[in-house]
């Protein structure tokens, strides 16, 4: 018998915010530097990226956070968040930073505005206002930091102003470990206000960094020892205290870039200084022009592009236009302020960031541990494909090229080389099916069937290239040919849940974290992959239909039906779907288990796949989720939490109860439950689940939640955890894509299909109506949905440009057209 699950009280009930949404400016405005954790933003959307926190911490890299790191960042440091994009002001001995850190001098005023690809830190002290405006301009590989100083007093003021960055010696992994070498490789060169960081250029490298200012400096430093002092540090660097740098040239050790300006501001006067940090790559033939001498032409051209305020203003405007255009493709007006700002802005913004970063670089992902995840990037694409389909197309082809000929895949790859990571290897048996998921999403969005004909390498070997469709076929076949004793898919090393390592003991006794063996052999099976196979297998069969591969479609459906049957029988526990069978053939996620009786993942994916809809099992499964897994902060991953480590389950049981995959609220699969509820027509419940983890809806509990209130986090501590409600791992999570898919397609019901756009909402009955502007295949649809009878689901009528249509599939408009759609629910 299952004991009753107690309802836990909310740990603290203090409503506390640390800022607010400025919807008109599309910013989150933070009004104290003492946020519960650093609240960050991402600058850059193409090749050059910077992370910047609300106090100016962070770092920059070019394309690959591990292999092309421009500036150093020390994770898990104490004090926290010391390294960054720094500006120091020495005002007659009072040393402060516009973003408060690292000096932490109390400011008279402070605000941080995180916007779309830019951040503005504003500090004021003793009548001097300083604004540090950071962004990565479109089309250039650099970060611009414009400092604007204003003397708000009636007396002239003389200040010493410093910039400061600490260079990373490019490979961030090597940089943080190989000191015996790296203390001797550093090289710099200074030409007027440009500080060149050229470590490793003399070897086989072809790139360097430049940190410049747009005005002549009073002094500079390039040696950390000189700037900070050997026993000093970023809190109060010796040079800043002294009021001048020493024009040091770094030879090895730690090269840095620091500019110093001694300046006077008349009463009321404003002055700006533009700093830039650029990445330059020279063609190979220029590499060895002369030992140690770099060709600076590209750097000079870059500096000339941002030499004046007018140029910087224009670059800022271009960035704003870019985002305006991108977001204009999906806009919501519902009268529900929080919903509107998440859908129209922040959720899509986070989707762009996860698309760019995968799981590589955040304040929780070090940039050296993981590159691009196979399953992660496939899922990120689901929430991004409508924004820039061409980039999604390119990404699909990159991901597919890391697949093996048997359909399995490297679990991760490096963004710079695009090669699979052999340290991590393959064997996660859900991976292949995610490739079908993202390709089908791309086709539904674009109708660009040519992608299926693109030749794509296997394991990056172009001599073995096959059309993308063949890759999908092998994905499908991989699952189909790797079924276990119950007719359910073999799990391999793990499935979506990385920590469910059911075969771990059999291959490497005692080493549950590093399983490198083949995925076949051990018999553990996954009901989750079964659900995926039914859902994405059917999508694959639809592609076959479209390509007139009639026999293949039919045999695929036969295979899918068999797995569906196995799921409804062997995969069913009586009131919910089981999670798996372990390597002994014992069920996981069953009432037969002492702990871990019910898991969230199979309930979400199976119901989304439509499994058990006719038999009542789907209803029962979601009811069990609500009864057993729901909490005020979201739906936990499993119950009861594992209290002891279990060799037959692996990493999942290594976490203390309530954290991460061991009964944490893993935000990524909360939207699956919400989607599943809409499949059954439960709009009220779907929206209730949506709101629980939605950042804008929980802004008031920022003190409990701790991470940024404008983006999703990977996990929130579950009710078994002493810190129930506390989030971790913000930004880089599949939650972003899945919540956007959930809210845009399943709840608001604007659904791209292979044949065009369908409108079929499932909303809370209290929502009276809304309008959506949706760019789709080059046309713009203005869709007005009205809910006069307060229903949760059901379309009564649809008119397109004033004329009624039958059904809910909108006729395809031509590119460039504007379509007026009116939908009445009832
Ligand atoms: C984490 C997972 C993550 C995995 C990646 C595990 O330790 O718990 O959430 O997916 O590492 O390697
Ligand atoms: C985070 C990983 O990035 C993702 O791939 C995985 O599905 C979840 N953790 C769950 O383990």
Whether 457 maps to a domain, the answer reads yes
Same domain, 450 and 518: no
- Give the domain CATH number at 221: 2.70.98.40
CB-based pocket (< 6 A), ligand 2: 359, 373, 375-376, 496-499, 661
Q: How far is the C-alpha of 132 from the C-alpha of 119, rounded, in Å?
A: 8
Q: Quick one: pLDDT at residue 4?
A: 55
Q: Which ligand is nearest to the CA of 738?
A: 2
Same domain, 471 and 509: no
The pLDDT of residue 516 is above 60: no
Same domain, 136 and 259: yes
Whether 738 maps to a domain, the answer reads no
How would you list the strands of the sheet with 330-333, edge to edge? 330-333, 769-776, 779-786, 818-825, 795-800, 803-805
- Give the domain CATH number at 544: 1.50.10.10
Q: Quick one: pLDDT at residue 282?
A: 82
Q: Quick one: pLDDT at residue 808?
A: 98
Ligand 2 mutation pick, 428, 438, 498, max ligand atoms within 8 A of CB:
498
Same domain, 306 and 403: no
- Give the domain CATH number at 780: 2.60.420.10
Q: Which ligand is nearest to the CA of 668?
A: 2
Whether 51 maps to a domain, the answer reads yes
Q: What is the pLDDT of residues 293-315, one digit of tens each?
A: 788 999 999 999 999 999 999 99
Q: How far is the C-alpha of 652 from the C-alpha of 648, rounded, in Å?
A: 10
Same domain, 518 and 430: no
Same domain, 451 and 497: no
**Are the CB atoms for 792 and 765 separated by under 8 Å?**
yes
Mean pLDDT score of the chain, rounded to an integer?
95
CA-based Rg of the chain, rounded to a whole angstrom?
28
Q: What is the position in ligand 1's atom list of the atom closest to the CA of 666?
A: 9
Ligand 1 mutation pick, 498, 666, 733, max ligand atoms within 8 A of CB:
498
- For tokens 């809210």, what's the residue? 743
Q: Which ligand is nearest to the CA of 601?
A: 2
Q: What is the pLDDT of residues 322-352, one digit of tens each?
A: 999 999 999 999 999 999 999 999 999 999 9
Paired tokens of 182: 């790296």
The pLDDT of residue 512 is above 50: no
Same domain, 761 and 805: yes
Q: Which residue segment(s) compose the domain that 67 sits in?
A: 33-324
CA of residue 730 to ligand 2 center, whole Å: 13
Q: What is the position in ligand 2's atom list of the atom closest to the CA of 498?
A: 11
Q: Quick one: pLDDT at residue 517?
A: 42
User: What average pLDDT does this structure show over 264-282?
Assistant: 97
Concerning whether 498 is annotated as a catalytic residue, the answer is yes
User: What average pLDDT does this structure show over 194-213?
Assistant: 90
Band the pLDDT of 292: cuts 50, 70, 90: low
Domain count, the chain: 4
Band the pLDDT of 15: cuts 50, 70, 90: low
Among 594, 628, 662, the domain boundary falls at 628
Paired tokens of 224: 């950390």
CA of residue 652 to ligand 1 center, whole Å: 9
Q: What is the pLDDT of residues 417-442, one digit of tens each?
A: 999 999 889 999 999 999 999 999 99
Whether 401 maps to a domain, the answer reads yes
Same domain, 430 and 564: no
Whether 670 maps to a domain, the answer reads no
CB-based pocket (< 6 A), ligand 1: 498-499, 651, 660-661
User: Residue with the nearest Cα to atom 7 of ligand 2?
Assistant: 496
Q: What is the position in ligand 1's atom list of the atom closest to the CA of 714?
A: 9
Same domain, 238 and 270: yes
Q: What is the position in ligand 2's atom list of the atom closest to the CA of 499?
A: 11
Paired tokens of 316: 């800022």
CA of residue 651 to ligand 2 center, whole Å: 12
Reported pTM: 0.96
User: What average pLDDT does this structure show over 685-702?
Assistant: 97
User: Residue with the nearest Cα to atom 3 of ligand 1?
Assistant: 498
- For tokens 């939490």, what's the residue? 641
Q: How far is the C-alpha of 358 from the C-alpha of 734, rounded, in Å?
A: 9
Q: Quick one: pLDDT at residue 1?
A: 45
Q: What is the pLDDT of residues 756-765, one digit of tens each?
A: 999 999 999 9
Q: What is the pLDDT of residues 701-714, one digit of tens each?
A: 999 999 999 999 99
Same domain, 37 and 168: yes
Q: What is the pLDDT of residues 738-796, one digit of tens each?
A: 999 999 999 999 999 999 999 999 999 999 999 999 999 999 999 999 999 999 999 99
User: Residue with the nearest Cα to atom 10 of ligand 1?
Assistant: 498
CA of residue 521 to ligand 2 center, whole Å: 24
Q: What is the position in ligand 2's atom list of the atom closest to the CA of 666?
A: 10
Whether 679 maps to a domain, the answer reads no
Whether 636 maps to a domain, the answer reads no
Whether 200 maps to a domain, the answer reads yes
Q: Which of 91, 175, 206, 498 is catalytic?
A: 498
DSSP letters for 291-354: TTBPP-HHHHHHHHHTSSHHHHHHHHHHHHHHHHHHHTTEEEE-S-HHHHHIIIIIHHHHHHHH
Q: In this structure, what are the phi and psi dihedrals at residue 197, rounded to the nearest 5 degrees?
A: -105, 110
The pLDDT of residue 609 is above 80: yes
**Are the CB atoms for 818 and 780 separated by under 8 Å?**
yes
Paired tokens of 641: 């939490």
Same domain, 420 and 491: no
The pLDDT of residue 289 is above 60: no
Among 628, 656, 671, the domain boundary falls at 628
Same domain, 190 and 308: yes
User: What average pLDDT does this structure show over 668-680?
Assistant: 98
Q: Which ligand is nearest to the CA of 373?
A: 2
Among 435, 462, 481, the domain boundary falls at 481
């Amino acid at each position: 018998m299952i004991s009753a699950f107690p309802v836990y009280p909310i740990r603290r009930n203090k409503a506390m915010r640390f800022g607010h949404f400025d919807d008109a400016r599309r910013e989150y405005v933070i009004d104290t530097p003492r946020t519960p954790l650093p609240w960050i933003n991402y600058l850059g959307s193409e090749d050059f990226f910077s992370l910047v926190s609300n106090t100016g911490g962070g770092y920059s890299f070019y394309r690959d956070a591990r292999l092309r790191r421009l500036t150093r960042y020390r994770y898990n440091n104490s004090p926290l968040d010391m390294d960054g994009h720094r500006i120091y002001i020495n005002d007659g001995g009072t040393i402060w930073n516009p973003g408060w850190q690292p000096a932490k001098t109390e400011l008279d005023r402070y605000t941080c505005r995180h916007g779309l690809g830019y951040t503005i830190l504003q500090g004021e002290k003793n009548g001097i206002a300083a604004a540090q405006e950071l962004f990565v301009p479109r089309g250039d590989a650099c970060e611009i930091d414009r400092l604007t100083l204003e003397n708000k007093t009636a007396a002239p003021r003389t200040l010493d102003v410093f910039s400061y960055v600490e260079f990373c010696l490019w490979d961030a992994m090597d940089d943080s470990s190989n000191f015996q070498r790296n203390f001797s490789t550093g090289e710099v060169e200074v030409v007027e206000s440009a500080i060149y960081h050229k470590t490793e250029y003399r070897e086989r490298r072809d790139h360097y960094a430049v940190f410049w200012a747009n005005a002549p400096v009073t002094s500079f430093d390039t040696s950390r020892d000189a700037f900070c002092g050997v026993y000093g540090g970023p809190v109060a660097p010796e040079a800043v205290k002294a009021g001048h740098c020493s024009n040091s040239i770094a030879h090895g050790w730690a090269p840095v870039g620091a500019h110093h300006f001694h300046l006077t501001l008349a009463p009321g006067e404003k002055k700006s200084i533009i700093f830039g940090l650029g990445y330059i790559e020279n063609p190979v033939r220029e590499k060895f022009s002369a030992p140690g001498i770099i060709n600076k032409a590209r750097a000079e051209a870059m500096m000339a592009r941002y030499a004046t305020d007018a140029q910087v203003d224009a670059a800022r405007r271009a960035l704003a236009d870019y985002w305006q255009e991108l977001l204009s493709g999906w806009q919501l007006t519902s009268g529900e302020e929080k919903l509107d700002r998440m859908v129209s802005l922040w959720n899509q913004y986070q989707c762009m960031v996860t698309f760019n970063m995968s799981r590589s670089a955040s304040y929780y992902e070090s940039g050296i541990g993981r590159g691009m995840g196979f399953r992660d990037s496939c899922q990120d694409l689901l929430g991004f494909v409508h924004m820039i389909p061409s980039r999604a197309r390119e990404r699909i082809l990159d991901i597919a090229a890391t697949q093996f000929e048997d359909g399995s895949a490297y679990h991760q790859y490096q963004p710079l080389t695009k090669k699979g990571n052999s340290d991590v290897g393959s064997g996660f048996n859900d991976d292949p099916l995610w490739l079908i998921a993202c390709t089908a999403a791309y086709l539904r969005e674009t109708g660009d069937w040519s992608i299926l004909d693109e030749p794509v390498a296997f394991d990056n070997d172009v001599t073995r290239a096959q059309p993308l469709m063949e890759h999908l076929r092998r994905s499908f076949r991989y699952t189909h040919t790797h079924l276990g004793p119950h007719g359910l898919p073999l799990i391999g090393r793990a499935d979506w849940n990385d920590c469910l390592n059911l075969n771990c003991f059999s291959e490497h006794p005692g080493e549950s974290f590093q399983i490198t063996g083949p995925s076949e052999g051990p018999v553990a099976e996954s009901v989750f992959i079964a659900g995926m196979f039914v859902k994405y297998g059917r999508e694959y069969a639809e592609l076959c239909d479209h390509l007139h591969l009639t026999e293949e479609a039919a045999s695929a459906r036969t295979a899918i039906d068999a797995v569906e049957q196995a799921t409804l029988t062997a995969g069913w526990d009586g009131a919910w779907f089981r999670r798996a069978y372990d390597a002994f053939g014992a069920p996981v996620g069953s009432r037969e288990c002492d702990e871990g009786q019910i898991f969230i993942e199979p309930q979400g994916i199976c119901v989304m796949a439509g499994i058990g809809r006719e038999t009542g099992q789907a209803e029962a499964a979601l009811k069990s989720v609500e009864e057993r897994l729901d909490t005020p902060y979201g739906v936990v991953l499993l119950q009861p939490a594992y209290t002891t480590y279990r060799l037959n389950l692996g990493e999942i049981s290594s976490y203390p109860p309530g954290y991460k995959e061991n009964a944490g609220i893993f935000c990524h699969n909360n939207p699956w439950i919400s989607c599943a509820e809409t499949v059954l027509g439960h709009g009220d419940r779907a929206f209730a689940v949506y709101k629980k983890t939605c950042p804008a809806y929980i802004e008031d509990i920022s003190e409990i939640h701790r991470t940024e209130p404008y983006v999703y986090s990977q996990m929130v501590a579950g009710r078994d955890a002493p810190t129930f409600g506390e989030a971790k791992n913000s930004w880089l999570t599949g939650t972003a894509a899945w919540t956007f898919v959930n809210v845009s397609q399943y709840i608001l019901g604007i659904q791209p299909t292979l044949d065009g756009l369908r409108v079929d909402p499932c909303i809370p009955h209290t929502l009276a109506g809304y309008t959506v502007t949706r760019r789709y295949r080059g046309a713009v649809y203005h869709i007005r949905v009205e809910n006069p009878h307060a229903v949760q689901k059901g379309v009564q009528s649809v008119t397109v440009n004033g004329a009624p249509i039958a059904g809910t599939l909108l006729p395809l408009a031509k590119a460039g057209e504007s379509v007026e759609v009116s939908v009445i629910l009832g």
